[in-house]
Structure 1
Amino acid sequence: MTSWHEGPRAGFDLETTGRDPLTARIVTATIVLVDGDVLEHHEWLADPGVDIPDGAAAIHGITTSHAQAHGLPATDVVHGISAVLARLFAAGVPVLAFNARYDFTVLAQEGRRHGARVPAPFPVIDPYIMDKQADRYRRGKRTLTAMCEHYAIPFENAHTSAADVLATLRVGTVLAERFAFLRRPATDLHASLVVWADRQAANFEEYLRRTEPDAVIERAWPVVGCSPDRPADRADGPPAQPVGQYT
């Protein structure tokens, strides 16, 4: 049986205008395809069509004026990202994204805004969910930066999409090498991640409800199903809280 980390695999990351994937706009994007060496490296800088908040610019370094002067129209970027991902998924290449719910939900929303056909994300590998499943009782943060520190992975220029992609690929490989149950074909692992993500969200929701009885945590993975304007209503309570960035 060939494990997902022993063949071609890609990493995907977005930097955006905010933490809420239902409203955030793409500012930068990176997709890197590797198989021992880097086979493809795609980078985009977008003019998101809205002001980039100072808080977001302070994290990823892209200001509104810079994006307007140097960025491509957002519609071109969304179509470009979608085309590369569609080709990779069609070839069966697993795409790694750290906290995949965020990036793929942002992309899906941007696809709706700009009339782009965004591919169904499959197979997707999410080191954030994998780490929580493999070492669920470890204390401390589970951001990409914290995870790189925990697994002794060099990580420079955090919060740039290119650096985050390379770190995500390295974390994913380390997890597969360390935990045998993560060594499996990408399609099998994707199916397990759907289940694990649901259970982890349910456990977090149960924890929050000790003090917030109406708390609802989004369970869908790797993309949250929603309308262009608001999250889908849960039949059993208020709208689910979307999961923000974890870098």
Structure 2
Amino acid sequence: MDTWQTLPLWEEEPAATMPGTPPPARGWTDAVGVFDLETTGVEVTSDRIVTAHVGLLDASGTAVRAQSWLADPGVAIPEGATAVHGITTAHARAHGSPASVVVAAVVAALRDLLDAGIPVVAYNAPFDFSLLKYEALRHGIPPILEPSPVIDPLVLDKAHDRFRRGKRTLEAVAAHYAVPLVGAHDAAADAIAAGRVAQALARRFDIDAPLHELHTRQVGWARAQADSLTEYFIRIGRLEPDDRLDGSWPIR
């Protein structure tokens, strides 16, 4: 990944080392890209990027490449969003780079990984990749329309441990797989933890299918998971019988 450009948009972080003895390398887990966004809200078509992280982990979970960005989203950051990730409108306006510059840099960093055949891990991938797509369109930047290969630990966890009780937030799933997550809702911390969770899932469930096959399986798993959740929400009255959750993956 020597083609990556170091951009003075926020900070380039030092490598973070996973504690403990590195596990043996196994297939796609040898090198995984990681990606996360913190945003002004949860509507992928209208909300904006506030912070972003794209990095690369080696087989031991060590971050060997890390780039983070702070954007001025061009709109006010709601107090509810600030309560989650800690970035205020004033801080973003004073210290953030123009949104168009950040979006272009994030898209370029992800394209570098995907073009090299390196899987990009994103927890609940359709949120991050879809919001990035609409941000790119908003700023006249060619979007990533069919990201592949992508690894989504949320989809993998639900597929391989379907009946486990409890929450499936990144914090909860990281704790379940004994992956440290310090500073949740920081884009870098979340991205790196998600990558390590993906590697932990691969070890726990022996997920060593070829990348293209694993990507395709996740498409089907995500659709089935959305259908199952739809039926549950209809039963409890949270959705009308004609409503359906969108199971498109890894982008909507």
- Give the TM-score, by structure 2 length: 0.85
* Contact 1:18-1:25 within 8 A present in 2 as well: yes
- Among 115, 132, 144, which residue is 1:90 paired with? 115
Cα deviation, 1:29-74, whole Å, max 9, x if unaligned, reads 0011122443311111000000000010011010000000000000
Cα distance between partner residues in 2 of 1:156 and 1:35: 19
Give runs of ≥4 in structure 1 deviating > 3 Å. none
Residue type of the alignment partner of 2:36 = D
1:1-247 correspondence to structure 2 within 5 Å: 3-5=27-29, 7-36=30-59, 37-119=62-144, 120-180=146-206, 182-210=207-235, 211=237, 212-224=240-252
Cα deviation, 1:82-114, whole Å, max 9, x if unaligned, reads 111111111101000000010001000101100
Cα distance between partner residues in 2 of 1:203 and 1:45: 37
Identical-residue share of aligned pairs (%): 49
Stretches of structure 2 lacking an aligned partner (at least 5 in a row): 1-25
Cα distance between partner residues in 1 of 2:151 and 2:170: 14
* Contact 2:219-2:248 within 8 A present in 1 as well: yes
Identify which of structures 1 and 2 has the higher relative contact order when contacts are C-alpha pairs closer than 8 Å and 6+ apart: 1
* Contact 1:96-1:126 within 8 A present in 2 as well: yes
* Contact 1:208-1:215 within 8 A present in 2 as well: no
Residue type of the alignment partner of 2:202 = A
Cα distance between partner residues in 1 of 2:211 and 2:92: 36
Residue type of the alignment partner of 2:244 = V
| Matched pairs, number | 221
Residue type of the alignment partner of 1:12 = F
Task: Provide the secondary structure at the position in 1 that maps to 2:168.
Answer: coil
Task: Provide the secondary structure at the position in 2 that maps to 1:46.
Answer: strand
Stretches of structure 1 lacking an aligned partner (at least 5 in a row): 225-247
**Cα offset, 1:22, TM superposition:** 2.0
* Contact 1:27-1:45 within 8 A present in 2 as well: yes
RMSD, aligned α-carbons: 1.1
